[in-house]
Structure 1
Amino acid sequence: MSAPTSVASATAAPSAPAASPSTRTSRRRSLLIGGGAVALAVALAFGVRWWVHGRFIESTDDAYIQADSVTVAPKVSGYVAEVYVRDNQQVKAGQELVRLDNRQYQAAYDESAANVASRQADVARADADLQQQKARIAQAAAEVDGARANARYAASQVERYAPLVRTGAETEERTAELRNAQTRAGTTLAANEAALRVEQSQTVTLQTRLQQARAQLEVAEASARKAKLDLEDTVVRATQAGRVADKGVRVGQFAQPGTRLLTVVPVQDLYLTANFKETQVGRMRPGQSVTLHVDALSGEALHGVVDSLSPGTGSQFALLPAQNATGNFTKIVQRVPVRIHVDVPNEARPVLVPGLSVVVDVDTRDLHPASARVPGAAPAAANGAAHG
């Protein structure tokens, strides 16, 4: 009889009170109101940020790091004798990169130098002949002066003895001798004057010969300079500092003028070209600040400024530009290349190379940035080069 009594007492124990439906509804409403308030605050914050800042930011991922690379090629032909650089090596401006076999160019230069020496001897000989001719002219002029003096003396003797002959103080034979001497003196004077004219006429010939020798010397010197240039051009040097890339030159290879040997990439002078849609460039001006996100730097932000905008869209400079004046027309949003000067920190320089993809954000709030260049002034950084 005791077991039924315990069961009845357990059945009669009161249970915990359950939450009422009105309490659950109130709690749900509070959560919804709180969540809505948070969402509204976040939306308001984003809206204010967009209104103040975001609506002026123009972004594109159609942007790539670039550099004005230089293709290295020889100016003369020849077999490659030595290659002084390796792949990806850093080089300085003027550093020797490749040397061609220069034996034939050395021989040509030696021949030209010998020809110059020969022409210099011709000039010296012609000048000496001209100086000698001037001495001959002076000698002939002196002989003319002497003959003229003799002629005057002979004439004076004839005049002095003529009255004596008429008075009988002198003989006719004496007069004849004096007249004969006068005639010989006149003949000698005429001969000397003719010889002087001959010597003087030779001066023009010798001066012409000297001018010809000097002209031939100039031709020889020009040929020697060309031969020297060819000899110097057998050593191919870097025209700018950078890193060696795309090296295809090998020892023993025959290189023609203009043959690509390697490329020098000026990684220290990087810039950025971003292709913005035409709907994005309305407020874009040189000098506006730019934020860059390079994929290779894992999201690390770089900074720069707008350097310049292209004078035409990319399609205008394509190899086959669009002909929109014919056939059916479909409007396509064009893109305008924008060149951006990049401030590269030293720790990022080894990583940044031409061709890397970049996400660009241009702040267009300031339509007249203080860093904008004055029209007609020289660029602040040559070719948009990057400076750390």
Structure 2
Amino acid sequence: MNAAAQTSTPASTEPQARSLASRRLMSMTAGAVGLLATLAFTFYWVTTGRYLESTDDAYVRADWVALSPRVAGHVAKVQVNDDQPVKAGDVLVRLQARDYRARLGSAMAAVAEAKAAVTAARAHQQVAAERINQQQQAVLQAEAAVRSARAERQRSQLDLQRYRGLVRDEAATLQRLESASAQASQALATEQGAEAAWREQRAQQRVAKALAAQADATLEQRQAALARARAEQQLAELDEQDTVIRAPIDGVVGQRRARAGQYVVPGQPLLAVVPLQQAYVVANYKETQLTRMRPGQAVRIQVDGFAGKPLQGHVASFSPASGNVFALLPSDNATGNFTKIVQRFPVRILLDSPLHGPLRPGMSVVATVDTRDAEPADAP
């Protein structure tokens, strides 16, 4: 019996030895794989991983435009549908323009009337200028008449004095002296009349100049009225043009609230145009992640709505302040107990490659920035 037990012992230990060797091999293999994984992860972290800054607090944005009328009126026609692509300049909404066309016609008539008034004022100005020239010639003629009358008076006075001497010497008759005296008196009266006429012409000249100044002022007044009428016409034209609402940019129509027959007022939102082709990403990174982040660095963008189709982009700019600063009710750390909270800063990321399907503003994304190009600058 002992001999049988002794012969069966080696047969039972041989499978145990093989199992132990197999476990040792598996343990060594697992250790080697773990070591290799650790080395690979360490290599990845040293060369790449520690330079990647990622956040899932990122969303697609677009600078969409909300359109509203500049004039009041009833909606005549809405020429676009919901979610319809449009081009810049396409007509979106038309308002009834009957009242504005009538106002434009009235403004154009006012401009025509103001132009006629300016033409008449210019004619009056020209007449006043010609009157000044005419009075200038009349003044010159009056001055010549005064000089002539003065010379005749002087001659008659000399004749009177000469005949008085001749009469004393009895070389001339008294009748001749009386005739010379009458001629002298007549010459004096003629001179006084010429001087009065000259003064009258000078007064007429001053009146003509005053009328010319009045004509100039009237012309300026009419020109100002014409400028005002033209400005009112321009405003009427703008109001008439504003009854047609056009797309300012290329995009897709959204939030269409305008309906035919609806009465709208200036500033009332009617619809929005979203430029999907100009979509970008805003990623809110923690302040501790911005140390090596610079504009122009490459960004890998994983859109939740397009799984498996990562996009490439680059950092465009950084917000000048954290989101808390621009909040409607920013926190005040000077009140109550203080708890330090890491702040987030919006980072604008532009896309380098388009997606097969258009991005929609509001989509969630995961943005990963590669900051390796900033490392040399940080080195001492």
TM-score interval, smaller chain: 0.7 to 0.9
Sort the Cα spacing of 1:226 and 1:66 in 2 relative to 1 into closer, same or farther, 3 A. same
Secondary structure in 1 matching 2:325: helix
Partner of 2:155: 160
Work out which of the residue numbers 133, 139, 153 in structure 1 matches 2:134: 139
Work out which of the residue numbers 273, 277, 283 in structure 2 matches 1:274: 283
Work out which of the residue numbers 228, 244, 266 in structure 2 matches 1:235: 244
Sort the Cα spacing of 1:338 and 1:186 in 2 relative to 1 into closer, same or farther, 3 A. closer
Q: State the Cα distance separating 1:295 from its structure 2 match.
A: 1.5
Q: Deviations over 1:318-371 (max 9, x none)?
A: 1111222222233333222111111232xx25331111111111112221799x
Sort the Cα spacing of 1:369 and 1:320 in 2 relative to 1 into closer, same or farther, 3 A. farther
Q: Deviations over 1:265-284 (max 9, x none)?
A: 11111110111223322222
Work out which of the residue numbers 336, 344, 349 in structure 1 matches 2:345: 336
- Partner amino acid, structure 1, of 2:223: R
Q: Deviations over 1:46-103 (max 9, x none)?
A: 2211221112211111111100111011111111112222222222223221111111
> Are 1:50 and 2:59 an aligned pair?
no
Partner of 2:262: 253
- Partner amino acid, structure 2, of 1:216: A
| Runs (5+) with no aligned partner, structure 1 | 1-16, 371-388
CA-based RMSD: 2.2
Work out which of the residue numbers 20, 36, 41 in structure 1 matches 2:36: 41
- Partner amino acid, structure 2, of 1:72: L
Sort the Cα spacing of 1:21 and 1:295 in 2 relative to 1 into closer, same or farther, 3 A. same
Alignment of 1:185-200 (within 5 A): 185-200=194-209
Please say which of residues 187-196 and 240-249 is displaced more in the overlay. 187-196
- Partner amino acid, structure 1, of 2:74: Y
Q: Deviations over 1:195-229 (max 9, x none)?
A: 22222222222222222222222222222221111
Work out which of the residue numbers 294, 310, 314 in structure 2 matches 1:305: 314
User: For the Cα contact (< 8 Å) 2:72–2:264, is it kept in 1?
Assistant: yes
- Partner amino acid, structure 2, of 1:350: G
Partner of 1:216: 225
Q: Distance in 1 between matches of 2:104 and 2:63?
A: 35
Alignment of 1:87-106 (within 5 A): 87-106=82-101
User: For the Cα contact (< 8 Å) 1:285–1:368, is it kept in 2?
Assistant: no
- Partner amino acid, structure 1, of 2:239: D
Partner of 1:31: 26
Q: Distance in 2 between matches of 1:329 and 1:71?
A: 41
Partner of 2:111: 116
Work out which of the residue numbers 63, 74, 86 in structure 1 matches 2:58: 63
TM-score, length of structure 1 as denominator length: 0.84
Sort the Cα spacing of 1:277 and 1:157 in 2 relative to 1 into closer, same or farther, 3 A. closer
User: For the Cα contact (< 8 Å) 1:296–1:351, is it kept in 2?
Assistant: no
Sort the Cα spacing of 1:179 and 1:83 in 2 relative to 1 into closer, same or farther, 3 A. same
Q: Distance in 2 between matches of 1:57 and 1:98?
A: 48
Q: State the Cα distance separating 1:40 from its structure 2 match.
A: 2.0
Partner of 2:72: 77
Secondary structure in 2 matching 1:151: helix
- Partner amino acid, structure 2, of 1:289: A
Q: State the Cα distance separating 1:140 from its structure 2 match.
A: 1.8
Matched length: 352
Partner of 1:359: 366
Q: Distance in 2 between matches of 1:356 and 1:21?
A: 60
Q: Distance in 1 between matches of 2:324 and 2:342?
A: 11
Sort the Cα spacing of 1:148 and 1:303 in 2 relative to 1 into closer, same or farther, 3 A. same
Q: Distance in 2 between matches of 1:147 and 1:163?
A: 24
User: For the Cα contact (< 8 Å) 2:277–2:358, is it kept in 1?
Assistant: no
Q: Distance in 1 between matches of 2:91 and 2:194?
A: 80
> Are 1:204 and 2:199 an aligned pair?
no
**Greater helix proportion:** 2
Please say which of residues 70-79 and 324-333 is displaced more in the overlay. 324-333
TM-score, length of structure 2 as denominator length: 0.86
Secondary structure in 2 matching 1:75: coil
Sort the Cα spacing of 1:344 and 1:261 in 2 relative to 1 into closer, same or farther, 3 A. farther
Sort the Cα spacing of 1:157 and 1:92 in 2 relative to 1 into closer, same or farther, 3 A. same
Q: State the Cα distance separating 1:179 from its structure 2 match.
A: 3.7
Sort the Cα spacing of 1:181 and 1:276 in 2 relative to 1 into closer, same or farther, 3 A. closer
Q: Distance in 1 between matches of 2:151 and 2:288?
A: 114
Partner of 2:5: none
| Runs (5+) with no aligned partner, structure 2 | 1-10, 167-171
User: For the Cα contact (< 8 Å) 1:66–1:272, is it kept in 2?
Assistant: yes
User: For the Cα contact (< 8 Å) 1:288–1:369, is it kept in 2?
Assistant: no
Partner of 1:182: 191
Partner of 2:7: none
Q: State the Cα distance separating 1:194 from its structure 2 match.
A: 2.2
Please say which of residues 181-190 and 301-310 is displaced more in the overlay. 181-190
Q: State the Cα distance separating 1:33 from its structure 2 match.
A: 1.6
Secondary structure in 2 matching 1:74: coil
Q: State the identity %.
A: 43
